[in-house]
Structure 1
């Protein structure tokens, strides 16, 4: 079988290449994939979890965590972002940021998220684009709430996020330089936000993160700016594309939509199944810190290692009927929020809460919601994204 797991056009036309990934899981689960440089494609659940949980063996900091290669002069700045750190630096930063994302703090947002969903759904009528009218605004409203930013800022956040993530998609950004420009605008926005909170503290995550913790530790200016950048992208793109990809999955599996309409409480398990099925983040990169063996292959120090969550989440050795979309699936040990370890998604509780409330409300309020046009996918091998999903409200 011809294997190419990084062709952007493949993802734009059909999403992740699940036929290739299934073949690799069986025949070559740790596969030497051509590229610049070549990399090891890791596709089995067990191996993806192993890589994720052993930062000392597979580094996020050595050559960063994103797939594309980065110029040497950019590495130092990028390593200030939690995504591109290893313990103990990552542990320190995460402990500071964790203060704003405890389960208790997130659960306190449920009624607010329910109000946001109701407000969005109140405005729907006739044929609309589910992405721009529902899936995209929901996490942006929530991010504005977390940052204590005015809701009017959501359009700016939406544009910046699209330009950073969509640098390979002509609808969003013509060049990677435009993506870098968007990042600089987010830095400036974060700086301004921090200055306002230092002058006028409020009961929001920004104020909390700018204050010293019990050990007197605090985020410096660069660390805070990069945290806001990570929140704008990770807190927006993942939930947005899980919501739109989940809606598409329910349209493609009408029996599951009927189950949800009959029992909206199933939105709790549906949220996890949507994350498994969609796998909004397709891949992350690690760098081997030493010579070692993985999946029977000899990995050399400094080799590029890429884990594919969209493959691990369809591994039949872990998920019975892995290619069946089942909103009642339980247990569901998916790794759509990462394979555990240091980089397990900080916002997983928030994302699941947003998805649960959204699909519960959709099933209750619009049981005859239906798709009326073709879904358009993002041209990206990193984010499994939906750009447009026309629906009709009846």
Structure 2
């Protein structure tokens, strides 16, 4: 680990060269439930140990998602305009989730394996036509983008544009993804938009065209099933669908892309991993290990619904409580050699998908499959990955990812 001093966790710049793991390690050791001052905000509690994160994540009555899942404060008007089912608690959350869950179940996702395999083969073969390339752009980005389109039922011709807009949403603090940097410019005019981003306007317009039948969607895709549901409990209203669509485009692509990117980065740092994967059947365990190291969604926020004492700290009603998954995934009380990729690690109780609570990621099975299969197809074709440059990282304290990594392939 590089020595990152003791950095401000509320500042996106603290993460612009990668996760400040030394800072998190010090906090876990010295004050694992600590009050954290915030730039232009009222501050928040940082929860950094694996066990504490699980406890809070499993107590939605006291620690609610219904005031937002990111650090920034929102007015009630902003929250109501921007929210998706991520920002709800049971029973409302359960109703929407149950409408979506069948399409993302382990059984349903297993039906996509041959499709994922075929796409992965083509992606890797195309990339390896050159010996030097950006492995994030040519490999890590491609498979999640293509599978997102097929799962949702969207036209292939629109996927590149949709991913650009999704990057602008979820990467709203990174100048490479957007001209409207959320913490540098006045974004008040977009305060009712998801992620406070003007890119949401374009995605709203696209979603409106889906609703009006102007953009054809596959009748077997998730979007068609959502719009045709006859559930007596839940009918998704137009504005709710638009927010939901923004969420799917942003979260449905980036988290898996950055998990694959971390996999490629780790292989480039230690080519012995390639040898181990060629000679041992570590495919399922290695996928989870690389996802643990990636921790693509670094945190989710909860808000205290009442005064509560937790870990000998007095948390007040309305306080923001940040569950740092990226820190819990490096907790040495849970993970031996937490900063080392151990591709045979089992069990691997990582929390990269928000495990331990009702909000765990619906895409967990698809992400695991994509990471595993792309690794299989890469490793069977190569002997060595040599980095030609340092990776570039997202400027964000919310999404962690290698944006670019130029490599030479042997």
Deviation at 1:3, TM superposition (A): 4.8
Are residue 25 (structure 1) and residue 58 (structure 2) matched? Answer: no
Give the helix-richer structure, 1 or 2: 1
Are residue 280 (structure 1) and residue 278 (structure 2) matched? Answer: no
Distance between the aligned counterparts of 1:55 and 1:216, measured in 2? Answer: 21
Give the 3-state SS of the residue equivalent to 1:345 in structure 2: coil
Are residue 211 (structure 1) and residue 228 (structure 2) matched? Answer: yes
In structure 2, the partner of 1:37 is 42
| Contact 2:172–2:197 (8 Å) recurs in 1 | no
Could you tell me which of 139, 142, 149 is aligned with 1:144? 149
Distance between the aligned counterparts of 1:257 and 1:69, measured in 2? Answer: 44
| Contact 2:271–2:384 (8 Å) recurs in 1 | no
Are residue 225 (structure 1) and residue 234 (structure 2) matched? Answer: no
Decide whether aligned partners of structure 1 residues 257 and 356 sit closer, same or farther in structure 2, where only a CA change above 3 A counts. Answer: same
Give the 3-state SS of the residue equivalent to 2:179 in structure 1: coil
| Contact 2:155–2:217 (8 Å) recurs in 1 | no
| Contact 1:130–1:389 (8 Å) recurs in 2 | yes
Are residue 65 (structure 1) and residue 69 (structure 2) matched? Answer: yes
Deviation at 1:274, TM superposition (A): 0.7
What's the TM-score, normalizing by structure 2?
0.90
Distance between the aligned counterparts of 2:357 and 2:319, measured in 1? Answer: 20
In structure 2, the partner of 1:154 is 159
| Contact 1:8–1:379 (8 Å) recurs in 2 | yes
Distance between the aligned counterparts of 1:130 and 1:351, measured in 2? Answer: 18
In structure 2, the partner of 1:185 is 202
How many residue pairs were aligned?
Answer: 390
Distance between the aligned counterparts of 1:346 and 1:103, measured in 2? Answer: 10
* Consecutive unaligned residues in structure 2, runs of 5 or more: 191-195
| Contact 2:386–2:407 (8 Å) recurs in 1 | yes
Give the 3-state SS of the residue equivalent to 2:350 in structure 1: coil
Distance between the aligned counterparts of 2:307 and 2:234, measured in 1? Answer: 36
In structure 1, the partner of 2:79 is 75
* Consecutive unaligned residues in structure 1, runs of 5 or more: none
In structure 2, the partner of 1:245 is 262
Deviation at 1:200, TM superposition (A): 7.8
Could you tell me which of 80, 87, 99 is aligned with 2:90? 87
Distance between the aligned counterparts of 1:373 and 1:203, measured in 2? Answer: 42
What's the TM-score, normalizing by structure 1?
0.94
In structure 1, the partner of 2:353 is 337
| Contact 1:96–1:218 (8 Å) recurs in 2 | no
Deviation at 1:216, TM superposition (A): 6.4
- What's the C-alpha RMSD, in Å, of the aligned pairs? 2.0
Are residue 51 (structure 1) and residue 67 (structure 2) matched? Answer: no
Distance between the aligned counterparts of 1:201 and 1:319, measured in 2? Answer: 43
Deviation at 1:239, TM superposition (A): 0.3
Deviation at 1:197, TM superposition (A): 9.1
| Contact 2:169–2:197 (8 Å) recurs in 1 | yes
Distance between the aligned counterparts of 2:163 and 2:306, measured in 1? Answer: 40
| Contact 1:194–1:206 (8 Å) recurs in 2 | no
Q: Deviations over 1:198-222 (max 9, x none)?
A: 9887222222112225646432222
Are residue 301 (structure 1) and residue 317 (structure 2) matched? Answer: yes
Give the 3-state SS of the residue equivalent to 1:365 in structure 2: coil
